[in-house]
Amino acid sequence: MGMTMSQKILAAHTGMERVRPGQLIEADLDLVLGNDVTTPVAVHEFKKTGLTQVFDRKKIAIIPDHFTPNKDIKAAEQCRLIREFASEMGIEHYFEVGEMGIEHCLIPEQGLAVPGDLIIGADSHTCTYGALGAFSTGVGSTDMAAGMATGRLWFKVPSALKFVLTNKPRPWVSGKDIILHIIGMIGVDGARYKSMEFMGDGLASLSMDDRFTIANMAVEAGAKNGIFMVDEKTIAYVKEHATKPYRVYEPDPDAVYDEEYELDLSTIKPTVAFPHLPSNTRTIDEVGEIAIDQVVIGSCTNGRLSDLRIAASILKGRKVKKGVRVLVFPGTQRIYLEALQEGIIADLVEAGAAVSTPTCGPCLGGHMGILAKGERAVATTNRNFVGRMGHPESEVYLASPAVAAASAVTGKITDPAKL
């Protein structure tokens, strides 16, 4: 019986020839990641070990991004704690205000995730790096502490689901629509503790940004990780950004999958997830009249340059509807700068949007975009649970940058093709 991509990566990091689903293993880590919410707890747990150094100061990344720039005194204290820890331990990959980014946009941009890596992060959307052919997964703060201390962690080897993508998406359909379609199809627990493995000739029509978005939201289907076959686009991205060697793993011809799905990308329509689950999806022609108060464009899901380009292409020469608040969050400082140089930021501001420094702020209801009781937001973020973006009686509708920008113009959820 052959192995899947994920199983091969796990086997390679244990020194074993093969692993099987359900097997408990201990594996070497290539990167341990934390942010300003999860790292303070990990630091406290690490200090209990009595160790005076981390396993490898080059294989740890700490990125304050959730409540930064610091929203209050508590956030400031948390950032100071991890800033001092990073300095004390000589951690090389510490990124804060001025050089920061939303962690899952910044890590690939910095070349810290490459094909074949085994990566853990104390954040559930660490699965983003599967777009590069890495095995990456979210863990708790105590596991982060163990990873920083030893460079190893135990895993239960996941079984897998196979997604064969064919043909090309229609205009205004992006990676966000594809993953929302999939989550709507299999449910928020349809991939529980499984690998979601993406392959097929349809990959050629997906940009790396599309793939990052799809891998990012694998966890919203309950997956342990999402992972893409490595192709020419992946290699081109890695050559541009990588700071270390990489290794490509492909599934064996006789790899076993729990389920196999074939998706014709040309049949997928712009898709919106209604409150209060990412699986509560409707195609744009099924939405009806949904008036909105706020639009959020950005996050680790859709804060990349292509996302901002799409939003600006719709908003340029138009105006945000009076009474609608539009907040834009570039994923990293580099993305922000490139958007400035291209004139994207000017187009967004002239349309009536407010543009922020990179932060996770509104996505988790942290700051810079909290919803009041009864308010509705269209967001390019990844979760729309009860109270996710503010008041428990507010509503979040998940959508692509194209749908979000079109909705900003009309003040209701709108098909960009109909503007």
Q: Are residues 260 and 343 in the same domain?
A: no
Q: How much is the pLDDT for 394?
A: 97
CA diameter of the chain: 62
Task: Identify whether residues 17 and 166 lie together within a single domain.
Answer: yes
**In angstroms, how far is CA 364 from the centroid of its own chain?**
13
As a whole number, mean pLDDT of residues 42-68 equals 95
Q: Is the pTM of this model over 0.85?
A: yes
With CA atoms as reference, report the closest residue to 361 among 37, 33, 34: 37
Average pLDDT over residues 275-303: 96
- pLDDT tier for residue 136 given thresholds of 50, 70 and 90: very high
Contact of 281 with 181, CB cutoff 8 Å: yes
- Measured distance CA(283)–CA(378) in Å, rounded: 14
Span of 39-43, 291-295, 366-370 with lowest mean pLDDT: 366-370
Domain end marker among 205, 236, 264? 264
For residues 80 and 123, state if they share a domain.
Answer: yes
Kindly report the average pLDDT of the chain as a whole number.
96
The token duo for 149 is 């201390």
Is 386 found in the same domain as 255? no
Q: In angstroms, what CA-CA distances link 76 with 71, 72, 363?
A: 8, 6, 19
Same domain, 59 and 116: yes
Question: What is the band of 397 on the pLDDT scale with cuts at 50, 70, 90?
Answer: very high
Residue 176 near residue 209 (C-beta atoms within 8 A): no
In this predicted model, what pLDDT tens digit does every residue of 326-378 receive, in sequence order? Answer: 999 999 999 999 999 999 999 999 999 999 999 998 888 888 999 999 999 99
Based on the fold, state whether residues 197 and 123 are members of the same structural domain.
Answer: yes
Span 1-32, pLDDT tens digits: 899 999 999 999 999 999 999 999 999 999 99
**pLDDT(97) > 90:** no
pLDDT grade for 100, boundaries at 50, 70 and 90:
confident
Residue 243 has pLDDT above 90, yes or no: no
Q: Do residues 81 and 200 share a domain?
A: yes
Question: What pLDDT is stored for residue 117 in this prediction?
Answer: 98
Q: What integer pLDDT is reported at residue 59 of this predicted model?
A: 97
Of 264, 287, 320, which one is at a domain's C-terminal end? 264
Round to whole Å and give the CA distance between 110 and 319. Answer: 35
Give the domain-ending residue among 264, 281, 304.
Answer: 264
Does the pLDDT of residue 242 top 90, yes or no? no
Question: Do 96 and 151 belong together in one domain?
Answer: yes
- Which CATH number characterizes residue 329's domain? 3.30.499.10
What is the model's pLDDT at position 133?
98
pLDDT mean over 286-310: 96
What is the pLDDT at residue 218?
Answer: 97
- Whole-angstrom CA distances from 147 to 4, 50, 132, 233 are 24, 15, 22, 31
**Amino acid at site 24:** L
Distance of CA 6 to the CA centre of its chain: 18
Please state, in angstroms and rounded to a whole number, the distance separating the CA atoms of residues 196 and 136: 12
Domain tally, the chain? 2
Q: What are phi and psi of 155, to 5 degrees?
A: -140, 150
pLDDT classification of 256: cutoffs 50, 70, 90: very high
126 and 192 part of one domain: yes
Structural domain of 187: 5-264
pLDDT at 189: 93
Sign of CA dihedral 278, 284, 285, 288: positive
Say yes or no: 302 and 234 in one domain.
no
pLDDT of residue 98: 86
Q: 28-37, 221-230, 258-267, 361-370: lowest mean pLDDT where?
A: 361-370
221 and 275 belong to one structural domain:
no
Q: What was the pLDDT predicted at 99?
A: 86
Instruction: At 219, list the tokens.
Output: 């966890």
3-class DSSP string for the chain: CECCHHHHHHHHCCCCCCCCCCCEEEEECCEEEEECCCHHHHHHHHHHCCCCCCCCCCCEEEECCCCCCCCCHHHHHHHHHHHHHHHHHCCCEECCCCCCECHHHHHHHCCCCCCCCEEEECCHHHHHHHHHCCEEEECCHHHHHHHHHHCEEEEECCEEEEEEEECCCCCCCCHHHHHHHHHHHHCCCCCCCEEEEEECHHHHHCCHHHHHHHHHHHHHHCCCEEEECCCHHHHHHHHHHCCCCCCCCCCCCCECCCEEEEEEHHHCCCEEECCCCCCCEEEHHHCCCCECCEEEEEHHHHCCHHHHHHHHHHHCCCCCCCCCEEEEECCEHHHHHHHHHHCHHHHHHHHCCEECCCCCCCCCCCCCCCECCCCEEEECCCCCCCCCCECCCCEEEECCHHHHHHHHHHCECCCHHHC
Asked whether residue 17 falls in the same domain as residue 155, the answer is yes
Query: For residues 219 and 126, what is the distance between their CA atoms, to the nearest angstrom?
Result: 9
